[in-house]
Amino acid sequence: MSRNHPDSNEDDKVETCIFCLIASERDKEAEIMKKDKELVCFKDINPAAPHHYLVVPRQHMHSCSSLNSGHISLGQLKWIMKRMAEMGKTVLRDQGVTNMKDIRLGFHQPPYISVNHLHLHVLAPTNKISEYLMYKFMPKTVAFITEESLTMHLKNKAPPVKY
């Protein structure tokens, strides 16, 4: 995207984006759990549960609402979301989590995000989410959408009409 693009403010943030720094492995503080060509999973600096990881795409995209910005297609977003969830679950299993029903995967929705780089929260076990942060990760609230609900929402969303 060029500097003259109407959304170039978003582009400007890439240089200072902390998750871009982590995803490009230039931030030496982050505890990376797993990575591949497109995604990186690392420990949340302020864990809300015994297991709290974040999965981010290496490429900067703003949030789960990036679809509306026109920077990513519906197909790409569905694909990346699926891969992010898979990586999060793999990390949980690698860390010894066996009850995969007692996990929470989801996204904060703008404006309830503190880092403007798409990130999936991966938490387990759900009954050990800190009381103090419980509401922040509560499904069906205005701030938090589970990965399952978002996937369902995207599934029902028709691809944009091409003229």
Q: Catalytic residues, which ones?
A: 119
**Rule CB under 5 A: is residue 77 a binding residue for Zn ion?**
no
Q: Omega of the bond prior to 125 within 30 degrees of 0, cis?
A: yes
**Rule CB under 5 A: is residue 22 a binding residue for Zn ion?**
no
Contact of residue 55 among ligand 5GP, Zn ion, none (CB under 5-8 Å per partner type) = none
**Rule CB under 5 A: is residue 117 a binding residue for Zn ion?**
yes
CA dist., res. 154 & res. 31, Å (int): 31
Query: Are residues 50 and 128 in contact, defined by beta-carbon separation less than 8 angstroms?
Result: yes
Taking the least distance from each CB to Zn ion, the nearer of 60 and 89 is 60
CA dist., res. 37 & res. 44, Å (int): 21
Q: Which stretch binds Zn ion (CB under 5 A): 39-47, 59-67, 95-103, 144-152?
A: 59-67
Q: What is the dihedral of CA 31, 33, 120, 112, to 10 degrees?
A: -10
Count the site residues for Zn ion by CB under 5 A: 5
Q: Which stretch binds Zn ion (CB under 5 A): 56-64, 67-75, 134-142, 155-163?
A: 56-64
**Contact residues for ligand 5GP (CB under 6 A)?**
18, 30, 42-46, 54, 108, 113-115
CA angle (145 as vertex; 141, 150 as ends), nearest 5: 140
CB of 63 to ligand 5GP, least distance (A): 9
**Rule CB under 5 A: is residue 60 a binding residue for Zn ion?**
yes
List, as one string, the DSSP characters of 8-40.
Answer: HHHHHHHTT-HHHHHHTT--SSS-EEEE-SSEE
Q: Which residues bind Zn ion (CB under 5 A)?
A: 17, 19-20, 60, 117
